[in-house]
Amino acid sequence: MSLPKFLLFLILSFFATQLFAQHKLSPTKLQEDYDYLLSELKLQHQGLYEYLDQEETDRLLDSIRGTLDTPLTRLEFFEKLWFVIGLTNEGHTSMELPKKEMFKIGLSKSFLPFTVRVMDEKLILTQHYGKENEALKNGLKILTINDRPIDQILKELYPLIPTDGINETSKREWIGGTNFSLLYRLHYGTEKHFNIVLEESGASQPVAATIDPIRFTRFKRKNATLQSISLEYNKFKFEQINDFIAYLSIPSFGEDELDYEQFYQTSFRRIDSLQIKHLILDIQANGGGTEGNENLLFSYLYPEVIQKYRQVTMLPKPYHKNESDPFYREDKWVLEGEIAKRGEFTLFSDYYSDLGYQRPLPEDIYSGKLYVLTSGKTFSGGAEFASMIRMTERGIFIGEEVGGAYEGNVSGYSEYVVLPHSKIEVEIPTVHFQLQVTPLEKGRGVLPDFTVPQTWEDYLDGRNSKKEFIIKKITQKGDFKQ
């Protein structure tokens, strides 16, 4: 359960653009592929009617099908299918154009030569991969590109980014990095030059620069003429702030080269030995990973075993395809009528999947005050961890709305289907993880108690805005005082 794969869809789109430009599929073939995809989604994906009722969803699906009345290239068809994927309202579904075709051509020299990040509604230049330009500096705010204001560009690009439910903060996070250049090229096409207006922090006048496009293959760190500023929350880190405050960063629950059990045990025993009364837990970069890792961390923060999921389910088709899988048998999947359900023991916070973890000793469980830093990048397993903290009222949230939905997601095991004529491959997540919560507004992530974005000014100084905010809150007079 990790970050979505929409980036791959964009990259493959550009590989295929020239190749497919001359070859178009007939309306009959397009409609057959469309109907096949819709059939597979209904047979395997449980999120299609999760946020919109069936009548409205089917109306939108029919309207998309109605546009398939003229021949289209694979790329044009691919873009239409992305609107179908968007109707699942979750970020774990992905698509790819035929792999055998994408390697036949190289990427055109048509991409913006930099990476960016949205900070507090500002688009900030974080890295540059083109030829050195004296007007470009790390941390410049981009105001316009080819006379298009940045707010207009973001408004037009955000719909191309999938999200859980009706969440918006995840869009601001996932448009960063190289994704912005890919999305810009997809939406606006090829441009010979980029006339950019930028603003330096504290400067009275903006600066203008004209830069040339590059091939996407140049987006490698060794080619960067401007290096990005590294922030601490992208790494596993323990830090003692003072005699009563500690900071712990957990940027992933994935298959890192990290012994999670050892890291948690060492960190929390140190927290205990230092008699820490205020723990700042940073998961603002945590996009999820392997189920079980988030449960283990929760076990070090809450003394009781809780029911995490209301139920974990799968539709009959993917269940029958995989019912002989050893992991399915181990988790005691059972088909009950028209739905398959995972074993009851897997619904609780002491379920560590097949990772072999043991519950922490009672004396290792932290009982002091907890502050959780989140962002729109907190997704999937990271979002589920945030949901467990919220449902138990264990901690105070600082930052931005969590990128994953409070009530769960559709992820886990995936099935792959290839559309018969276009050969587009679709990855369909099949497991519906329904958390034991009743959200006030369905489709939203865990909301912060204190809204604090990463600021432009702090980024330039390499400071973590959310961390700086809560340290000041704790140390000043008031409810957070030691």
pLDDT of residue 339: 96
User: 315 to each of 3, 37, 42, 52, 320, how far by Cα in Å?
Assistant: 23, 16, 9, 19, 9
Q: What is the pLDDT of residue 342?
A: 96
288 and 356 co-located in one domain? yes
405 is written with which tokens? 């939905």
The residue among 53, 76, 102 that closes a domain is 102
pLDDT at position 135: 73
Q: Provide the 3-class DSSP secondary structure of residue 124.
A: strand
Spatial distance between the Cα atoms of 177 and 405, rounded to a whole number of angstroms: 23
Interhelix angle 6-20/74-86, nearest 10 degrees: 160
CA distance between the termini of the chain: 37
* pLDDT for position 229: 86
Q: Is residue 249 part of a domain?
A: yes
Residue 100 phi/psi, 5-degree rounding, is: -65, -20
197 occurs within a structural domain: yes
Residue pair 248/274 in contact (Cβ under 8 Å)? The answer is: no
**pLDDT value at residue 107:** 53
Residues 96 and 196 in one domain: no
Q: Is residue 96 part of a domain?
A: yes
Looking at the structure, tell me whether residues 147 and 236 fall in a common domain: no
In this structure, the strands spanning 148-149 and 334-336 are unpaired
261 and 194 in one domain? Answer: no
Pairing, β 425-435 against β 24-25: unpaired
* Structural domain of 95: 6-102
How many angstroms separate the CA atoms of 92 and 5, rounded? 7
Angle between helices 27-44 and 54-65 (to 10 degrees): 160
**pLDDT confidence of residue 468:** 96
Looking at the fold, whether 236 and 219 belong to one and the same domain comes out as: no
Residue 186 and residue 242 share a domain: no
Which tokens sit at 234? 């992208």
Residues 203 and 94 in one domain: no
Q: CA gyration radius for the chain?
A: 24
Same domain, 283 and 392: yes
Pair 301, 378 in one domain: yes
List the beta bridge partners of residue 124. 117, 141
Q: Which two tokens stand for residue 377?
A: 């990048």
Say whether 364 sits in a helix, a strand or coil. Answer: helix
Say what the pTM is. 0.90
pLDDT the model gives residue 16: 46
Check if the beta carbon of residue 431 is closer than 8 Å to that of residue 314.
Answer: yes
Per-residue confidence (pLDDT) for residue 137, from 0 to 100: 83
Q: Is the residue at 421 inside a domain?
A: no
CATH value at residue 248: 3.90.226.10
Count how many residues are written for the chain.
482
Q: Is 54 within a domain?
A: yes
* Same domain (yes/no): 211, 252: no
CATH at residue 124: 2.30.42.10
Q: What is the DSSP letter of 404?
A: S
| DSSP secondary structure code for residue 220 in this structure | S
Contact, 185 vs 17, CB < 8 A? no
Which residue from 296, 378, 373 is spatially nearest to 91, judged by alpha carbons? Answer: 378
423 is a domain residue: no
Both tokens of 328, joined, read 């399915």
Q: Which H or E element spans position 263? A: helix 260-273
**Pairing between β-strand 278-282 and β-strand 369-374 as defined by DSSP bridges:** parallel
pLDDT of amino acid 387: 98
Question: Do both 94 and 124 map to the same domain?
Answer: no
Give mean pLDDT in consecutive 10-residue pieces for the chain, a chain of 482 residues: 49 46 85 97 91 90 96 85 83 77 53 91 90 80 97 90 85 90 84 93 89 84 83 94 97 88 96 97 96 97 98 96 89 94 97 93 97 97 98 98 95 93 93 94 95 94 96 81 54
The number of distinct structural domains making up the chain is 3
Domain finish residue from 73, 102, 131: 102
Residue whose structure tokens are 């974080």: 126
Q: Which of 171, 195, 223 is the last residue of a domain?
A: 223
Q: Say if 334 falls within a structural domain.
A: no
Pull the structure tokens for residue 350: 């002491």
If DSSP codes are grouped into helix, strand and coil, which group holds residue 436?
Answer: coil
Do the domain assignments include residue 91? yes
Do 401 and 457 belong together in one domain? Answer: yes
